[in-house]
Amino acid sequence: VEASPAECCQHAKMLEDTQFTDGYKTLGFQETIYGEFLARLWENPRLVSSCLVAGERLNQEHTQGVIHTVFTSLYGNCIMQEDESYLLQVLRYLIEFELKESDNPRRLLRRGTCAFSILFKLFSEGLYSAKLFLTATLHEPIMQLLVEDEDHLETDPAKVTERLTPAQQERFGEKGSEDYKQRVQAAVEINEAKLVALVNKFIGYLKQNTYCFPHSLRWIVSQMYKTLSCVERLEVGEVRTMCTDLLLTCFICPAIVNPEQYGIISDAPINEVARFNLMQVGQLLQQLAMADGDSDPRRKSSLSKFDKSCVAAFLDVVIGGQAVETPPMSSMNLLEGLSRTAVYITHSQLLALVGFV
């Protein structure tokens, strides 16, 4: 989002100019040995997961880079079905070895820097069925938000007048006076009403499009629910909250806040006001999902205006059903019958991966 057109062009040019060379030209007679190593690693998701978790525990300096290499090179961005199936198994083992073993799996997940979070984000961002779901669900309500409102939908009384011009601030009267407080409260109520209508619209579209939620992401979330529900120290409510975190914080809300990055809208510019309002919608959706475990009475009363049950119902649909052992295959497989015989990797990435393992 922050990149200038010139930077984007430069990036595209670099990609176009990239030259791939055959491995033997750099690796010589050892190319076969490296190839065998990568093939053995590729077909052993349990080993891949164990190595990533061990690397994190030992604070290995190349761990973050290796996690990206595993996704982009070892599993080839999950374009082929076999790669996708293996990566889903890597994610399942990471739930077992990393999240299940953690003292505070929720905090680990929210931080977003553990191997599971990074791989889940890379996988969901590149998944074609995920793009279809996000576009089908979010395009319409986001376009409506962009068209309808020109004001910051601020609901914090202390911040309502912060972004106004001096002339607009004068309309509220003298700061601190009774009249000022009443006008600020009225403005907050108007903004809250607008947000309620907006968020309920987003929830409605979410409910409407649950049928096209990606099978592979549903499988990961249900595996997480099944595995973590067996942990004695974790309440079922806490496990549900983690699944909601994964769905909203890591998947749906980033697409609401940056829709142009996800290809949800391509021609409508998003100004600072619209971005703020999109962030408000994202935060409210997350709060709604957590509302059951929230004891703050003020927040509970403001959230009572929303259709809370829908977010919970959405989660139930995703984690419901049988948590089967084998990962599902993408329903849209245009590459059936093809298999991958090459790994695209830079020389330094290859050496870092071998050194790490």
pLDDT band, very low/low/confident/very high, at 86 (cuts 50, 70, 90): very high
Task: Count the helix, strand and coil residues of the chain and give each as a percent rounded to the nearest 5.
Answer: 70, 0, 30
Task: Indicate if the pLDDT at residue 162 is higher than 90.
Answer: no
The pLDDT assigned to 356 comes to 96
Dist. CA 107–CA 113, nearest whole Å: 10
pLDDT tens digits for range 228-284: 999 888 898 889 889 988 998 889 999 999 998 888 987 778 888 899 999 999 988
Q: What is the mean pLDDT of residues 289-316?
A: 65
Q: What percent of the chain has pLDDT over 90?
A: 46
| DSSP class per residue in 285-307 | HHHHHHGGG---HHHHHHHTTS-
319-324, Cβ contacts within 8 angstroms, sequence gap of 24 or more? 319/221, 319/222, 319/225, 319/240, 319/243, 320/222, 321/222, 323/219, 323/222, 323/223, 323/225, 323/226, 324/219
Share of the chain above pLDDT 70, in %: 91
Give the pLDDT of residue 257.
92
Which amino acid does the sequence have at 9?
C
Can you give the pLDDT at residue 312?
A: 76
Q: How high does pLDDT run on average in the chain?
A: 86
Contacts of 352 (CB under 8 A, 6+ apart): 62, 65, 66, 69
For the ranges 179-188, 245-254, 311-320, the maximum mean pLDDT occurs at: 245-254
CA angle 306, 311, 315 (to 5 degrees): 170
**Cα radius of gyration (the chain):** 24
How high is the pLDDT of residue 293?
A: 53
- pLDDT for the residue 245: 85
CA distance 76 to 72: 5
Report residue 290 as tokens.
Answer: 């957590």
* Full-model pTM: 0.87
The answer to whether 184 and 160 are in contact (CB under 8 A) is yes
Q: How confident is the model at residue 110 (pLDDT cuts 50, 70, 90)?
A: confident
Instruction: For residue 29, name the pLDDT band (cuts at 50, 70, 90).
Output: very high
* Residue 172 pLDDT: 74
Phi and psi angles of residue 34, each rounded to the nearest 5 degrees, phi first: -60, -40
The residues, ordered by sequence, that sit 6+ positions from 38 with a Cβ below 8 Å of its Cβ are: 74, 343
**Which of 98-102, 221-225, 309-313 shows the lowest per-residue confidence on average (mean pLDDT)?**
309-313
Cβ–Cβ under 8 Å, residues 228 and 262: no
User: How far is 237 from 255, CA to CA, in rounded Å?
Assistant: 26
The answer, yes or no, to whether residue 297 has pLDDT greater than 60, is no
Query: Given this model, what pLDDT does residue 192 score?
Result: 86
